[in-house]
Amino acid sequence: MYKEQISILKDFDNYTPLIKRIIIDKPDGWEHRLTAELMRFLNDPLFRKLNDLKNGLYLKPSENVEQEKALNWIQDRLKELSRIVAPLVGLLDRLTKSLGKPGEPGDINKIHHVTKLIKEYLEHVIEFEERIRFVNIPQDYQKTVNLLKNLIGSQISKLSTIPSDLDEILSLANNQQIENEIPKEIRKEFVIEISEYSQKELNKELNGLQNKQDYGSSNSSGCVTTLIIVIGIILFLLF
């Protein structure tokens, strides 16, 4: 048993004592406790960095974009923004499945793996937001860039509540056990969306920039990229 614990803990050498204790003791609801603490340990620093970026608390070298490449640069960022949202449903679904079916234990390795995937996902979101914020672009395109700032970061920040959501679920489950209630299915919904106002403003600016470029040049870059993101994400947490 001791050798088995040592083997399991090998992947958690640099993690907090609390995480290691949960893995060894496996108290009631350990899957939810472990997920909450892994999310805090791995991802809280990234959520803080995302917030620091939003508030302009650090600097990075800026990318320089020339006039003739500016519209294409913006359209490329919009396409990238659409791709960023795609993995989110799968990540939360994988997180839910790692906790195990009702009455069955979760999987430590799967929980660890998916929380690390979420960490990598957040790092990519931050890189995208940094590229939007740290760019030197002609003045005509600055308003569009400003509209893109924190557009996806503000939505992905909603995931920062997952640890506290799991804490609440544990508390509710404990109360149910005390009161001998029938376990319930608990759902947490994350909605990742771009507001109607932001969508309209983006389309307005993009159409204006496209028309200006078409008028001033025979080399059109093509249709303006439109962007609509409204995704309902349900995280099933079962006890």
Domain boundary assignment for the chain? 1-238
**Cβ(158)–Cβ(118) below 8 Å:** no
74-129 tens-digit pLDDT: 999 999 998 998 898 889 989 989 998 877 899 999 999 999 999 999 999 999 99
With a cut of 70, say whether residue 218 has pLDDT above it.
Answer: no
pLDDT at 225 over 50: no
pLDDT digits (tens, 9 = 90+) for 34-88: 999 999 999 999 999 999 999 999 999 999 999 999 999 999 999 999 899 889 8
Residue with tokens 């799967």: 110
pLDDT top residue among 121 and 214 = 121
The predicted model scores a pTM of 0.87
CA atoms within a 13 Å half-sphere pointing along the CA-CB vector of 232? 2
Q: What integer pLDDT is reported at residue 47 of this predicted model?
A: 98
Q: What is the spatial distance between Cα 147 and Cα 208, in angstroms, rounded to a whole number?
A: 14
Query: What pLDDT is recorded for position 176?
Result: 65
Q: Using the CB atoms, write b or e for 195-234: b if 16+ within 10 Å.
A: eeeebeebeebbeebbeebeeeeeeebeebbebeeeeebe
* Model pLDDT, residue 126: 98
Q: Which amino acid, one-letter code, is at 79?
A: K
Q: Which helix (H) or strand (E) holds 91?
A: helix 87-98
